Amino acid sequence: MLALAAASGGIDLASPSPTAAADIPPNYLLLYEQAGLAFDVPWQVLAGIGKVECDQGRDPDPACWKQGVENVAGAGGPMQFLAGTWARYGLDGDNDGQANRWDPADAIVSAANFLRQNGAPGHIPAAVYAYNHSQAYVRQVLAWAGLYANQYGSTAAGYPATTSSGSVGSSPAAQAAVAYALAQLGTPYLWGGEGAGGFDCSGLVQAAYAAAGVSLPRVAQAQYDATAANAVALERVQAGDLVFFGSSLSAITHVGIVVSPGEMVDAPHTGAVVRIESDAWPDLLAATRPTGARP
């Protein structure tokens, strides 16, 4: 294995969250942690890239795992390197004599090398943007990184900080709900949709919390009414909290799931898809924490 350098600051060595332990194969988790330590890059961000690119090596696309196969863009391997980028950043992580972008041991440490040379650890969002020039990609990677962190996150790592209340982070149920919602990114909006072909806003929320073992009503107003007793100050939201929009608390028209302070995953409207976006809408009214999803 590539010799590990001592971390020089900002590195997050926190143990994996329940979401990380459940979602990341042990061999990948070890490689993320080792590569993060070697290059002073938060391992959770590497894992976020691995999740978005190839679902931790589980994506059925052969470009993710079959030697020599590239996707239509020319990317290959579990971290989806282009040949030209690999030529610049690729490393032989397992010291077997070759740097192979389809080998997780090489690909993951090379991704850490890429992030380090493009601004990490001081400028994680910029480094992730350099990896894939899309702000939506950055938001998605950092949302997964926040879930993989044992605490709610670290501003040094580029994902959400702990709340001002001092809470150590979202509960396993809240993390599971967010993980479900993130897995639906790109799914079409469908009025009345509950997962079969699409979602509307409250259908996504209900399905996400059902996946976490928490039962919620079907429509946004009823979801607010059912969780209003657990209201959360907007400046203290955590991943998994619900944010509600409308003209008044008795006229709720939209709901989203917080993924980080100021950002939510939602199914916004006809013609759109499930996505991560700002919750800074003029009709933002309130935030709540579903019962069963408390830290």
Q: pLDDT, tens digit, for every residue of 32-87?
A: 999 999 999 999 999 999 999 999 999 999 999 999 999 999 999 999 999 999 99
Q: For position 164, what pLDDT does the model report?
A: 31
CATH 3.90.1720.10 fits 172-288, yes or no: yes
- Residue 178, Cα to own-chain centre: how many angstroms? 8
Q: pLDDT, tens digit, for every residue of 91-127?
A: 999 999 999 999 999 999 999 999 999 999 999 999 9
Q: Is 10 left (phi over 0), alpha (psi -120 to 50) or beta?
A: left
Q: For position 226, what pLDDT does the model report?
A: 97
The Cα–Cα gap between 204 and 167 comes to 26
What is the distance between the terminal CA atoms of the chain, rounded to a whole angstrom? 38
The Cα–Cα gap between 17 and 48 comes to 13
Residue ranges, comma separated, of all CATH 1.10.530.10 domains in the chain are 18-157
Instruction: Tell me if the bond preceding 160 is cis, omega within 30° of 0.
Output: no
CATH 3.40.50.920 fits 18-157, yes or no: no
Residue ranges, comma separated, of all CATH 3.90.1720.10 domains in the chain are 172-288
10 Å CB burial of residue 281 (0-12, 13-18, 19+) is: middle
Q: What is the DSSP letter of 4?
A: P
